[in-house]
Amino acid sequence: MNDTASAARVGRVEFTGSRHELFGIVIRGYALMLPTIGLYRFWQATWKRRFYWQNTVIDGDPLEYTGTPTQLLLGFFFALAFFLPIYVALFVLAMQESTLVVLGYLGIGLIVWFLMGYATYRARDFRLSRTLWRGIRFDLRGNAWAYALRRFLWSILMVATLGLVYPWMASSLWKYRWRNTWFGDRKFDIAGNWRAFAAPYYATYLLNLLTIGGALIWAVSTHDFVLVGALPVPGALSWLAAIGCVVVFALSLAWYRTRTASRMLSTVSCGEAALTVRLGTGALFGQFVAYVFGVLGVLLLLGLTAALVLGGIYAMASAGGKADAASIVSMFQSGTLNVALLIVAYLVVLGAFGMLAEVVLSFGWWRLLARGASLSNPDSLRSVRATAEDRALIGQGLADALNVGAY
């Protein structure tokens, strides 16, 4: 009787973090990026992971992240040394004739794409090996080079088939990652296959193909555009059709992502413990809508800021008398000033959109996953024995250098 009750018990997964807490971490990180020449991002990444991990509570026990900023920093330095031959090759190619340059850049692009698969796998290994639950450490085994080659070959097939082979690619990569994931001395397994991806993917693929293709054909056939010089500008109805295409894309993407994640993650098991995930499409679509309105708000704020700056410049130019175009232009004659303004503008825009994506999209997806998950038979994991920490650092550094890290 007790054994049956224990086997039937389902552990809850909760997420207790708040957006304003994450916003404080992110805003502090961006504020300290400039004076530290960008090096504070390793501290920011560590604080963000600790925030996400410690607020994810599985069956009453939170996750724990033990990684440190210095590990990320050292890994990044290793990555710089790793990429040194590529930097040298790019410098040499810049001085060659055009045909050789094109072939060289294509070759380097393929190498970088291959390395992105390796970096993604090793970054996952880094995060898992620094993640504990109930004092037991996770780990990712397997071979990162084999994963990178698998991803690279599937990518070639993706291009050759115009994306139609994606369900098989996604299933293959998911299986490789999960079947090499361990919790202490116990291995994970995943039973899902390409069928979990096929129907949602092809439905999304076809719907967007018809929507976008139909809008383009309609705009061309009705000539709903005006020429501004030689540039065709869509008319009012074409803009409405374009907005409709964006809405359909966002809604279908939310449906696809929640559907496939629910299906695949619900086939993940670790011994007798099994994961169940139920995600709502409306919740994810709501995040997309919130992000769009956030982007519009940021653009409005940046526009007002630019207007105030230009107003200040005009006031400065008017201080010595009547302002004219020549006096205003003369203020931008300094190359140093122009470079400084461009750098500041770039950092502000990049920081604003990066912060918005983190606080709205990344936070929303993590919380949605956590709150939609449950773990059946969690007591079976109490017999798991701990394993040693994988201390490799270079994988996370490569992921940072290639901008393929997550959380």
Alpha carbon separation from 91 to 96, 107, 112 (Å, rounded): 10, 14, 16
The answer to whether position 121 is within a domain reads yes
Q: Are residues 33 and 64 in the same domain?
A: yes
What tokens were used for 152? 């690279």
Q: Domain limits at 228?
A: 193-266
Average pLDDT, the chain: 85
Quickly count: other Cβ atoms within 10 Å of residue 235's Cβ: 15
| pLDDT at residue 287, rounded to an integer | 95
Point out the least confidently predicted range of 63-72, 191-200, 347-356: 347-356
* Res 125 pLDDT > 50: yes
In a domain, 382, yes or no: no
Q: How confident is the model at residue 383 (pLDDT cuts 50, 70, 90)?
A: very high
Of residues 138 and 80, more confidently modeled: 138
- Helical segments of 95-143, H only: 98-129
Sign of the C-alpha dihedral computed for residues 150, 151, 152 and 158 taken in this order: positive
88 & 217 share domain: no
Beta bridge partners of 186: 183
- Of 358, 142, 166, the closest CA to residue 256 belongs to 166
The mean pLDDT value for 9-34 works out to: 91
Query: What share of the chain in percent tops pLDDT 90?
Result: 53
Which residue type occupies 273? Answer: A
Contact of 153 with 160, CB cutoff 8 Å: no
What was the pLDDT predicted at 167? 98
Q: What is the pLDDT of residues 226-242, one digit of tens each?
A: 766 667 777 778 888 88
As a whole number, mean pLDDT of residues 136-152 equals 94
pTM value is: 0.85
pLDDT of 258 reads 97
Mark whether 30 and 145 lie in a shared domain: yes
User: What ranges in 223-334 are assigned the alpha helix state H?
Assistant: 236-265, 281-318, 325-330
Say what percent of the chain tops pLDDT 70: 81
52, 374 Cβ separation under 8 angstroms: no
pLDDT at 6: 47
Number of residues that this document lists for the chain:
407
Can you read off the two tokens belonging to residue 343?
């750098």
Q: Which has the higher per-residue pLDDT, 190 or 219?
A: 190
pLDDT tops 80 at residue 10: yes
79 burial type by CB count under 10 A (0-12 exposed, 13-18 middle, 19+ buried): buried
Q: Distance between CA 173 and CA 120 in Å, rounded?
A: 11
At residue 1, the pLDDT reads 42
The answer to whether residues 253 and 316 belong to one domain is: no
CB-based contacts of 4, cutoff 8 Å, min separation 6: none
Tokens of 251: 């809604």
Whether 281 is covered by a domain: the verdict is: yes
353 with 404, same domain? no
Q: Quick one: 149 and 217 in the same domain?
A: no
Q: Looking at 266, 289, 308, which one is the last position of a domain?
A: 266
Position 5 scores a pLDDT of 46
One-letter amino acid of 389 = E
